[in-house]
Amino acid sequence: MATDVISGTVVSKTYSQNTDITVLSGGILSSATIGSSGGSIHVLSGGLVQETTVGTYQEVLSAGASGYLQTVSGTGEIVVESGAVLTEQTSDYQNHSIYSGGQVYLASGGTLVGGAVQSGGILTAVSGSLISGSFVVDNEGLLSGNGLVEQKLYVLDGGNVNGTILASSASESIYSGGNVSGQTINGSANVAGTLSGANIANGGQVSVLSGGVTSGDTITSGGKETVFDGGVASGTVLSNTGMLIVNVNGSANGTIASSLGYMGVLGTATNTTIGNGAIVDVEQGGSVTGNTINNGGSLFGEPGSVIGATTISSGGALTASSGATLSGDIILQNGGSATIWNNVGGTISLPGDSNGGLTISGLENGGTVSTIIDNWSGNGPGDSDSIDLAGVSAAGASYSLTQDQVVITLANGNTITLNIPNVLDHGFALVDDGHGGATAEVCFLAGSMIQTPEGDVPVENIRMGDTVIAYVQGVAQPTTVTWTGKAHVVVRPHLQDDEAGYPVRILKDAISEGVPYKDMLITSEHCLFFDGKFVPVRMLVNGFSIFYDKSITSYDYYHVETEQHFVIQVDGMLTESYLDTGNRRSFRQEGSVATLASKFLTWEHDAGAPLCVDRSFVEPLFHKLKSRENAVVGCQIPTVSTEQTNDPGLHLLTHTGAVIRPMRNNGQQYSFMLPPGTKSVRIVSRASRPADVIGPFVDDRRYLGVAVTNIHLLSAKNQYDITAHLQAEKPEGWYATDWTDCAWTNGNAELPLGEYMLDCKMGILSITVRAAGPYLVHAEEMTNLDEVSA
């Protein structure tokens, strides 16, 4: 049987079973009941059905039709087609329900306002549909599909949501026992139940509350998930500025971060994988273990943090600040880097025989390194494990070994203790790192001809007890060779030429006619004798007649020690014999007679002539030798570009990895807008060594970025003077200058800001740069500039 509800009529009655009702435009079907078997309601455009229980039949709302406060149960179903609206919420937010097997189907373009699904009820909201108002998913209710949730969604105990999209305007509450999976979250969600497989993006934010659990969430494009006290996040994937924050007593497990993903840890995190471009920052009270840092990934341990077992792959980086703690084994693979403070403890293992990625800070004034450095090994100088002791000058330093420990005595008498199991078996050498150290390896390459009373003899044939000619006050006299040593170098081409280990070739006649009388090959720290002074040959490299010979990538080199440190003649050139300032152990003694090691010597007290690195003396000598290039056969033509710029490229880097460009630059004044809560920034710029941009005759091989004087922080409340860089104990990345009100950066200097920004919405950091540049423009940088301008 069929019946119509026409325009202008309001029908409220009970129909027999199998009745098909059509509500026409202007018609209203209210509080109707259809018999228990069959039948249907079809509401056309302009029609309205309200307060009707849909039990054993189907109700269809066509485009332009409306439904109001319907109840669906049993085998009943409501289909909301495109352009139709079903309102299940009263003005006082009372919701009508879908329950006991009842179903509502929202087609694309269909809209549901409010309501609830519970007790076996099902709401299917397909892509393109809209759920507005306040909707509740209660016990055993199911909401599924990819419809858009526009306002509020509540998932109670036993409620289940599979899919859906939370709009940026939407909020969701998942209560204990509630379950949501496969949801896209562009708005906000509070999770005390379970959230799995969510895609959090476009500024979406998820708060994992006590008892809440998330698993397999993907966070990207500005999305953020915060795990609070008692919350758990498992298997989270971070990328493209996605952020995971693990607060105090929160926990995360199995996080995978890559491509600008960021995780901040104040609670605990286990089994984290950190990929290219990702940052994990462990703050005070935070603890992480089971970490894997892959190429391009970075893990920072702030003061008060704990870093457990970690594997650092090639290209990965770990930084443990002063006050952080290493609580497990840190495996530093070849090519990885770890920068730690001397007091962090734990164990760092160095697999392989040429692992040079460990830097230890905090030892400028001596101290004990509490970290155990394991698997120390190597094949010889240039081909062995190495440790960079940041800020420690090797000048005048000496060291002694026991089976498991090295004690280094600095020139000022302070000592540094390193704990290296079995170091006595593998050896140890303290050498210049090219950034201010001064322990020179003074060596001749094979084929160098040493002057003796019987004529010139190849250095490799000189033995203990032989006699060579020394020059004392310009007078030749015989002296006895007391020791000879031999070592092997493998060049490290990724370093600067003077640090890489390339030998220096001095062409025949480069010094004067017949001096040297053949090409001379020596190491870069070897000194030549001019006007009563020794000058390191690295300061005379001109690229034409004196140059680094890059065709030689490995070689043997030799030391010849005489009764005193003397001027001797090699290849017709006056140079020096060996002065043992502490690197004798890096050489194998030549000959069959062993000698006991002597005390370490110094340039100040034991040298045969003064060591001179003063620019006023060396620069004129450099230009004099360079001017001889036309008189020297076989001069090289430098091929490396030396283009320079005075633009520092100054910017800031936050602890999250965000780059902040200057909002204003007026001469020496740079201004930057800081985000809320900023506790520190890094001042980043180009950096070059004076020895490269001015000339090797400048004995300054520090990387200098910008010279910074005044720094002011302006907040909404006050202006503060920032002076950490001017203190005697400076933050990482700063050098002292001759000015008391200024300090140089190394191109990447830390600047603590204290607590000033914690309660501020914004701040402006003003930096005054007194000096900058010039800087070398590297080939790859020039290429990038060309691409930008094309």
| pLDDT for position 360 | 87
136 and 116 Cβ atoms separated by less than 8 Å: yes
Q: Using pLDDT thresholds of 50, 70 and 90, give the confidence band for residue 96.
A: confident
| pLDDT for position 603 | 57
Q: How far is CA 632 from CA 230, 510, 545, 698, in A?
A: 77, 6, 7, 25
Q: Which tokens is 38 given? A: 């069959």
SS3 labels along 274-302: ECCCCEEEECCCCEEECEEECCCCEEEEC
645 and 523 Cβ atoms separated by less than 8 Å: no
| pLDDT for position 519 | 92
360 and 417 Cβ atoms separated by less than 8 Å: no
24-33, 399-408, 551-560: which is most confident:
24-33
Per-position DSSP letters for 369-424, written without gaps between them? EEEEEES--BSSTTSB--EEETT---TT-EEEE-SSEEEEEPTTS-EEEEE-TTHH
| pLDDT for position 223 | 93
In tens, the pLDDT along 357-408 reads 888 888 878 889 999 999 887 654 455 678 888 777 665 566 677 888 888 8
d(CA 358, CA 354): 11
d(CA 131, CA 164): 9
Looking at every residue in the chain, the average pLDDT score rounds to 85
Which H/E stretch holds residue 783? helix 779-789
Q: How far is CA 727 from CA 391, 632, 721, 747, in A?
A: 16, 51, 13, 19
| pLDDT for position 578 | 67
Collapsing DSSP states into helix, strand and coil, what is residue 443? coil
| pLDDT for position 310 | 97
Q: Percentage of residues in the chain with pLDDT exceeding 90?
A: 52
The reported pTM is 0.59
Query: Strands 122-125 and 103-106, how do they pair?
Result: parallel
Instruction: Report the candidate in 192, 167, 195 with the shortest Cα–Cα distance to residue 182.
Output: 195
Q: Using pLDDT thresholds of 50, 70 and 90, give the confidence band for residue 605.
A: low
121 and 102 Cβ atoms separated by less than 8 Å: yes
d(CA 264, CA 282): 6
Q: Using pLDDT thresholds of 50, 70 and 90, give the confidence band for residue 621.
A: very high
Once rounded to an integer, what is the mean pLDDT over residues 430-448? 51
Counting Cα atoms < 13 Å in the Cβ hemisphere of 589 gives 13
Query: What are the strands, taking DSSP E only, across 150-230?
Result: 152-155, 160-166, 171-174, 179-181, 184-185, 188-191, 194-196, 199-200, 205-208, 213-215, 218-219, 224-227
Lowest mean pLDDT among 13-17, 181-185, 504-508, 742-746: 13-17
Q: Using pLDDT thresholds of 50, 70 and 90, give the confidence band for residue 716.
A: low
d(CA 379, CA 336): 20
The yes-or-no verdict on residue 441 having pLDDT over 50 is: no
148 and 129 Cβ atoms separated by less than 8 Å: yes
Instruction: Report the candidate in 83, 51, 48 with the shortest Cα–Cα distance to residue 69.
Output: 51
Q: Using pLDDT thresholds of 50, 70 and 90, give the confidence band for residue 467.
A: very high
Express the helix, strand and coil content of the chain in percent, nearest 5 each.
Answer: 5, 45, 50
Residue of 442 and 603 predicted with greater confidence: 603
173 and 190 Cβ atoms separated by less than 8 Å: yes
| Domains annotated on the chain, with CATH | 444-631 (2.170.16.10), 644-780 (2.60.40)
- Position of tokens 């690229």? 543
In tens, the pLDDT along 255-312 reads 999 988 999 999 999 999 999 989 899 999 999 999 999 998 999 898 899 999 999 9
d(CA 404, CA 216): 46
| pLDDT for position 14 | 64
| pLDDT for position 67 | 93
Once rounded to an integer, what is the mean pLDDT over residues 671-676? 86
Query: Strands 415-419 and 405-409, how do they pair?
Result: antiparallel
